[in-house]
Chain A
């Protein structure tokens, strides 16, 4: 028993230095940005810039960031923070200050308003409503529209004579659709579109943004949703079908800014407004194409765009500007998935080596998330499991209630955390902690309940108190079962922690999310492979802890080598 206790205490102690190390990460990131803006008036809070997880959003957010930096406004980047719900919730909660959004999305998905087809009406409507309802402000549109584009392969369009969405309705029962979950669920997405055109597809598969173009090219699906500025449309030679009934409302891109930024930093707002009306559809598509198809780093594409627009760096100041962004990139290398130029030609090994600093910090962050969440899980679930053994009547209801948490999809649980804890490490820790409870409490309870009934009977009959029976008999006998539960929880936590990147908690999920959004397999693997290895290592370490915490005669190992004399 003492050993099991010691194991738990050791885990708890591990938590402390790790936790402070983890706290060290966030300020370090801010420090670097603030240091870069040392000429700034002291006390200026950095502007937190987020994006949704797709290429255009990354590029726009990075342009916001570099433009502000060039005007000596300190920034913190939260690239690929999450889909509309997550990003907007984070903005309302004040966890971020600005992210690029689209007026149509604001109108239909956020306000739940009926479609309106005139771009200017939409903008004035969302501007009015967002200000009064959420205290969130739309800056003047950036200049281009990125509406939904429903696309098919060229041969499908040719064979079935498809030009418009009305044409699609005719053959839809023979087509398999691959749509983003976002699109399937939103009123301005599939439900409304299907109603408007009378579409009934043979099947609708929810697919992630980046996967769906691959699925379409591979013939797994026949029709996908995309955005009119997607670089992939050109890359795969797709045909975009005409929205002949004008179902899709205008989706003008604009910066959405928090109430706090308006109050605290009007100058940042003025700087961001410099981009208004400057970006054409063609210009934006070319930027997207460089990122999505050429796999150029977002930072350099954004820098080139700002230069082309004359918003930063003429030849004379260009060098200085380059140095500044270079410094900013270097400062961020530890925590973002930004990769340097010329990575395409590298071998995978060289690629991993090139992002070793980022990888190390992502891995460390991942370990911190797992260790802290798991340690907190053990500290709650283990005593709870022991207590439930004494309260048999409450056991099943309580364990089932904890089990229900397990059934909440990770992304949904993470999204629920945002209004409560904002974005970043805390909501991720709470979500991971909730997920770790069930396997530990279930195995602890069953382990102590099912402990050798003869030994328990004898201990009771010879005069152990119920507490002594629990502590000296049931718990040590349950040690192998408890450790099995802890190992299960650990492996689940390592896996689920990759999703923490969706709410800005970092970790090895960050390259996975970015890689998915940018259709960059190597970047994805650079997060996925270390995460898988980490799961194996954590399980292996816990196997050693299990051997140490299990009383010798109870271990399987012991029984193999000795037989009763």
Chain B
């Protein structure tokens, strides 16, 4: 992402932000509400279009094509999971393969469910409303991967979960990362979560990039007092 700028009316949501992530790695976007982290994420799959700058995916500008095609190639998990409540789990997970008219949609869905640590036989025929919060988020991650997506966008995916469940899902995400074939961009307000899961962390504040660094660098040399404060408050240092 290069020099991204986005305004909503008079609000500068993103102000000349640049960051990159290597294939198979995990980038965390950290900040408070209104810091621009969600806007930045949405510029990637064009739920939002930047006013200036560009987003390159494998060297291609995401705006050089059909947004629907683009989105089918990118996994996405919103905070509450966003499962379709009137579709059973199996159909939810098979969404993208089905949109792609993939004949193996069912099999892909089952593989994706296994990947996120769920038993396909146990959950396939259930309604999203019958699952626990943690199970729902696992299904949402499975849905975001079932189409063979190589890039996964997660917007506060574990924000609404209790501490124990959140920890389990973070473990699941780390396990996924060990496969090395999925690039992840994670939005979180929890810098501890970012340090734990990501290879690269971008701290945003009021649309500005405060610091972009590896977890170790960030911990050892916070660039601004704001970041030190964040680290302190989350109990990661001090």
Separation of A247 and B15 alpha carbons in the complex (Å): 84
With A462-B71, A562-B129 in contact, is A476–B143 under 8 Å at CB? no
CB distance from B71 to the nearest CB of A (A): 4
Bound-state Cα–Cα, A507 to B86, Å: 41
Closest-CB distance, A214 to chain B (whole angstroms): 55
Given that A463-B72, A564-B130 are known contacts, is A468 also in contact with B99, CB under 8 Å in the complex?
yes
Residues of B within 8 A of A554 (CB): 85-86
Binds A, one of B18-26, B73-81, B113-121: B73-81
Q: A553-B86, A554-B85 are in contact. Are A464 and B132 (CB under 8 A)?
A: no
Question: What residues of chain B lie closer than 8 Å to A139, measured between beta carbons?
Answer: none
Point out the residues of chain B lying under 8 angstroms from A464, CB to CB: 68, 95, 99
Interface size, chain B (Cβ < 8 Å): 35
Interface string of B55-86 (1 = CB under 8 A from A): 00000000000001111110111111111111
- A551 CB → nearest B CB, Å: 4
Q: Which residues of B contact A454 (CB under 8 A)?
A: 78-82
A463/B84 in contact, CB under 8 A? no
Partner of B131, one of A462, A468, A565: A565
CB distance from B6 to the nearest CB of A (A): 17
Measured in the bound complex, the distance between the Cα atoms of B52 and A277 in whole Å is: 93
Whole-angstrom distance between the alpha carbons of A465 and B70 in the complex?
12
- Check if A536 is an interface residue, CB within 8 A of chain B: no
Q: Are B45 and A553 in contact (CB under 8 A)?
A: no
**B20 vs chain A, min Cβ distance (A):** 22
Is B29 engaged at the interface, CB distance under 8 Å to the other chain?
no
Q: Does A552 contact B (CB under 8 A)?
A: yes
Contact check, A553 vs B129: say whether CB atoms are below 8 A apart: yes
List of A residues within 8 angstroms of B131 by Cβ? 564-565
- Expressed in whole angstroms, the Cα–Cα distance for A413 and B123 within the complex equals 56
A3 closest partner in B (C-beta): B86
Chain A 531-554 residues near chain B, CB threshold 8 A: 551-554
The answer to whether A460 touches B86, judged by C-beta atoms less than 8 angstroms apart, is no
Residues of A within 8 Å of B69, CB to CB, are 463
Is A477 in contact with chain B by the CB < 8 A criterion?
A: yes
B144 within 8 A of A: yes
B47's partner among A460, A472, A558, A559 (CB-CB below 8 A) is: A460
Number of interface residues of A (CB under 8 A): 26
Q: Please name all residues of chain B whose beta carbon is closer than 8 Å to the beta carbon of A499 when the two chains form the complex.
A: none
- Interface residue ranges of B81-138 to A (CB < 8 Å): 81-86, 95-96, 99, 127-133
A458 in contact (CB, < 8 A): yes
CA distance A459 to B82 in the complex (A): 8
In the bound complex, do residue B71 and residue A463 qualify as a contact, i.e. CB atoms below 8 Å apart? yes
Residue of A nearest to B69 (CB): A463
Among B73, B79, B80, max chain A CB count under 10 A is at B80
Which chain A residues border B128 with CB–CB below 8 Å?
553
Residue of B nearest to A553 (CB): B127
Given contacts A463-B69, A553-B128, A559-B129, contact A455 B84 (CB under 8 A): yes
The answer to whether B140 has its CB under 8 Å from any CB of chain A is yes
The distance in angstroms between the C-alpha atoms of A452 and B83, with both chains bound, is: 10
Given contacts A461-B78, A464-B99, contact A551 B86 (CB under 8 A): yes
Are A458 and B81 touching (Cβ within 8 A)? yes
CB contact under 8 A between A477 and B85, given known A454-B80, A461-B71, A463-B99: yes
Known contacts A461-B76, A473-B84, A559-B129; 11 additional CB pairs below 8 A are A454-B78, A454-B80, A457-B47, A458-B84, A459-B82, A460-B71, A462-B76, A462-B144, A463-B70, A463-B96, A564-B129
Residues of chain A whose beta carbon lies under 8 Å from any beta carbon of chain B: 452, 454-455, 457-465, 468, 472-473, 476-477, 551-554, 558-559, 562, 564-565
Q: What are 12 A-B residue pairs whose CB atoms fall within 8 Å in the complex?
A: A457-B47, A458-B81, A458-B84, A458-B143, A461-B71, A462-B75, A462-B144, A463-B72, A463-B99, A477-B86, A552-B127, A553-B85
